[in-house]
Chain A
Amino acid sequence: MTRLLRMIALILAVALSAGAARAQSADEAFTRLGADSFSDTNRAIELLIAGAHPQAAVIIEALAEGRLLAGGGAVVVKTKDGKLLDARTGAALASEPPGLNPVRLNNGVRRNIQAALGGLGLLNPDTAKRIAAAEAVFKSRDVSLLPVIETAISRETDTRAKAALRQAQAAILIAKTDAPPFDRLAAVDVLRERGDQDALATLRSLPGDASPALKDAQARAVADIEGKLALWRTVQNLWYGLSLGSVLLLAAIGLAITFGVMGVINMAHGEMVMLGAYTTFIVQEVIRARFPGLFDYSLAIALPLAFLVAGLVGIAIERGVIRFLYGRPLETLLATWGISLILQQAVRTAFGPTNREVGAPNFMSGAFELGGLAITWNRLWIIVFAALVFAALLAILKLTPIGLQMRAVTQNRRMASAMGIRTGRVDALTFGLGSGVAGLAGVALSQIDNVSPNLGQSYIIDSFMVVVFGGVGNLWGTLVGALTLGIANKLLEPYAGAVLGKIALLVFIILFIQKRPRGLFALKGRAVEA
């Protein structure tokens, strides 16, 4: 392994140090590392590589990970398991020299390290690393790496890695005016094949002195890619819309129960969402402190708990306040507003006014590409989750006896009780269910938004819009309403901007309600007026 690295460093040294003085002493590099200055650190990296220092790879890696310590003339590598090595020799140190501090990094240094490691990575045995390295070169378009790339291409067996290397080569060739014209034409084709934003940018950087044939090819390639990208952009916007829609759906669906089904103008709905988010926070705190290994399951653990917490609080609110207000829906507005103030302040008092950190488990971090579509994992999971919650709720409401009882009770409480339905219990359960679902939404929203006492407030208006837009009392309406508003918002945003887009959407809702005064999925007929 070390031998391999040394060899790479050697090759790189040849490539990089074309004009640089070869005979720099390694000492200078080590002095510079101890100087606590970013430019010195950068220079030191260059020197180490140029000088083909045997420890270069180890040192640079340690530097990247903050394990390189310097001070008092000594430079020390701390291994991953905590042992101290002398950076110059790689020999183990008996005792820690005094005055050591980690060598600091900034973005400039980090980029240099990346480039260095990227260059080093072109011949890395790990295919993924090679591809990453080729990507890095594609971006840096560093002419001096051309020979290394060519060597790498000739050796490469993996098709994906080979393609990546070819693209990197093409990116360099495009700009290289003294390259053979035929190669540059081929490069245009390679880039056209790649067809993404970066390829476009690279193609555009074609120097002005190119031959007419090359310019022509480039122009066609650019047009081709632009067309394709425009299409993808629409798809991407639709995806964003879907994702925003699913967030709206999650936020609103609990309200579709407490407000839509029960008719309680539930201003404390947002606070139920907030409670769900804080439950997630607490779960993660406990996990961080006690069972760090479970972190990836933290959301799964939080889900039932959030449902319970929010649901129980919901039941308490129903039993304590709302049940005295049936038949007086407007008063529920007043009471639940009061409750929402109390809950907000309670959370503020208990957890402080500032945001709380809720981390993302690994499976929800990062993104992947699907064609020209960048999909972030957290959004994808939220969409899936929203769909599941929706389906479950629909099933409960439509297929179970309790669902039937919920609807009967809210339509005519007195008659329902005369049918032997335990209205009190049904009311409490319904409100608890709506609140619990809001709690579930809180778990999901904690992944994309602030966890602060104000969390709920920011969703309450949108939630009401969604429920009303879709048609009160209709779960499907809430679904379609949320998705429509989400997608419309995201399709508008690129043209109108976030603010005007939102205003346009609100105006749209106002106008839409004129057309359908009872929402998208309006109930019609006598039954409604009865």
Chain B
Amino acid sequence: MITRFLIQGMDKRGLVFLCLIAAIAVLVPLANLLLPPGSLFHVPTSTMSLWGKYLCYALLAISLDLVWGYCGILSLGHGAFFALGGYAMGMYLMRQIGSRGTYGNPILPDFMVFLNWSELPWYWYGFSSFPFAMLMVLAVPGLLAFVFGWFAFRSRVTGVYLSIITQALTYALLLAFFRNDMGFGGNNGLTDFKDILGFNVQAQTTRAALFAMTCIMLIAGFLIARGIVVSKLGKVVIAIRDAESRTRFLGYRVDRFKLFVFTVSACMAGVAGALYVPQVGIINPSEFAPANSIETVIWVAVGGRGTLVGAALGAVVVNYAKTVFTSGFMAPYWLFALGALFVLVTLFMPKGILGTAQDWWSKRRKPEPVATAEPAPAE
């Protein structure tokens, strides 16, 4: 049943995407590890970790597309789930440092030592165990999304109201995590990681493995998201997006459907965050910044809302553009370029890169009447 669920109605686009990521997952680490640095096909470690980061963002974008593109929930707080997953992973990595921290305290992380904490807060317990930490990577964002969604969807908070309270959520978490008293390292966050599962996080092989893992998770996330959207549940969810109350009159418990999708999506975002942290080496409260979540929305819009593959594409394109623009002669003016990119995409590619390409493609093949109506706006 599960496999059927995962591969049902796979289309060409999805297949291409899957093959591509699978190929990257195998080839890039190999090219990094086996080929000599001089070789034409050698992938430098820095490039690999950069792309590892992009792919984490891609997973985050897919998770957002699932709720926004298909269910119409414009979450302006998805960064929070990403960051929570990241913190769960960060806590594990912190505990792995053991007594190798600067103060040599076997239990307390450095930031606690120099702020005179005497014992480990209870919520840090258990994070020295990898399975527990991984469970938390899923459970913490998932639970938060569940509780938050349970209230919000039951109260029928929709549209911008929902968007803004998700923003309030991430903003509140931002402020809370900034507080040093919370015990998560305040502004500096968690950093200076040493090992993951006994392997040095900095080591080239570990990086390669993390990269491959990111690809695998991206594939898994994509398959799950796809499985959901092509199933009948996916149709219900789209119906909810376009005419929520009508769906209710058909007997669907709209709140449960939304809650399900929202929670799954939050878990996916959490996994993305967890993979992100060991690759960039730091997790800090600025990941909770509302602007980050808005940016995630923008990746999805750029790539093409409601297309999954497009969301991933958007994340990679925008972040790649950022990487390119922030170096070289463009550096002082890169915001012009990025801003212009956003404006131009909206004006000339209203359905995002993928949506526009798809239209163009289908127009060339078989003309089909297109509805001019738009999905019910979120006000």
Interface residues, chain A, with chain B CB atoms under 8 Å away? 263, 265, 267, 321, 324-325, 327-335, 337-342, 344-346, 349, 457, 461, 464-465, 468, 472, 499-500, 502-503, 506-507, 509-511, 513-515, 517-519, 529
Contact = CB atoms under 8 A, between A and B. Distances in A.
A342 to B, nearest CB: 4
Given A341-B338, A503-B172, A333 B297 contact: yes
Given A342-B340, A510-B165, A513-B165, A328 B374 contact: yes
B26 to A, nearest CB: 35
Given A468-B161, A514-B151, 7 more contacts: A267-B294, A328-B350, A330-B74, A330-B301, A338-B346, A341-B342, A514-B155
Contacts of B298: 333-334, 337
B132 to A, nearest CB: 28
Contacts of A349: 332-333
Interface in B129-170: 148, 151-152, 155-158, 160-161, 164-165, 167-169
Nearest to B298: A334
Contacts of A515: 155
29 contacts: A263-B379, A267-B294, A328-B350, A328-B377, A330-B74, A330-B301, A331-B301, A331-B346, A333-B294, A333-B298, A334-B297, A334-B301, A335-B343, A342-B339, A345-B333, A345-B335, A345-B339, A349-B332, A349-B333, A457-B291, A461-B290, A465-B167, A506-B168, A506-B172, A509-B165, A510-B169, A513-B152, A514-B157, A518-B161
Nearest to A338: B342
B58 to A, nearest CB: 18
A344 B335 contact: yes
Contacts of A509: 164-165, 168
> 6 shortest A-B CB distances, which residue pairs?
A338-B342, A341-B339, A342-B339, A345-B335, A506-B172, A338-B339
Interface string B286-324: 000011001001100110010000000000000000000
Contacts of B30: none
Among A267, A332, A509, the one with the most B-chain Cβ atoms within 10 Å of its Cβ is A509
A500 B179 CA distance: 9
A514 B167 CA distance: 15
A403 B237 CA distance: 38
Q: Which of B165, B176, B290 has the most CB of A within 10 A?
A: B165
A514 B150 CA distance: 10
B169 A334 contact: no
B120 interface: no
Contact of A338 (B157, B164, B171, B340): B340
Contacts of A327: 374, 377
Contact of A472 (B148, B157, B160, B347): B160
Interface string B320-360: 00000000000011011011111101110010000000000
A461 B171 contact: yes
Contacts of A325: 346
Chain B interface residue bracket vs A:
35 or more
Contacts of B245: 529
A235 to B, nearest CB: 28
A324 B346 CA distance: 9
A424 to B, nearest CB: 17
B87 interface: no
Contacts of B175: 499, 502-503, 506
B378 interface: yes
Interface string B196-232: 0000000000000000000000000000000000000
B184 interface: no
Contacts of A510: 148, 165, 168-169, 172
B377 A330 contact: yes
B338 A338 contact: yes
A514 B294 CA distance: 22
B92 interface: no
Contact of B335 (A331, A341, A457, A517): A341
B160 A468 contact: yes
Contacts of B193: none
B81 interface: no
B92 to A, nearest CB: 26
Contacts of B156: 517
Contacts of B347: 321, 324, 335
Nearest to A457: B291
A213 B305 CA distance: 80
A46 B305 CA distance: 78
Nearest to B148: A510
Nearest to A508: B168
Contacts of A335: 342-343, 346-347
Contacts of B294: 267, 333, 337
A514 B342 CA distance: 33
A321 to B, nearest CB: 6
B178 A499 contact: yes
A513 B167 contact: no
Contact of B168 (A329, A340, A342, A465): A465
B342 A337 contact: yes
Contacts of B171: 461, 506
B155 A517 contact: yes
Nearest to A329: B377
B343 A338 contact: yes
Contacts of B176: 503
Nearest to B157: A517
A515 B165 CA distance: 13
A331 B343 contact: no
Given A338-B340, A345-B335, A517 B158 contact: yes
A506 B175 CA distance: 10
Nearest to A333: B297
Interface string B173-186: 00110110000000
Contact of B336 (A337, A345, A517): A345
B167 A461 contact: yes
A292 B345 CA distance: 47
A334 B342 contact: yes
A425 B331 CA distance: 38
A349 B347 CA distance: 25
A342 B336 contact: yes
B166 to A, nearest CB: 9
- Between A321, A345, A500, A510, the greatest number of chain B beta carbons within 10 A of the residue's beta carbon is seen for A510
Contacts of A340: 339
Nearest to B168: A506
B181 to A, nearest CB: 9
Given A330-B74, A330-B378, A465-B164, A507 B172 contact: yes
A225 B160 CA distance: 49
Contacts of A513: 152, 155, 157, 161, 164-165
Most chain B CB within 10 A, of A267, A333, A464, A515, is at A333
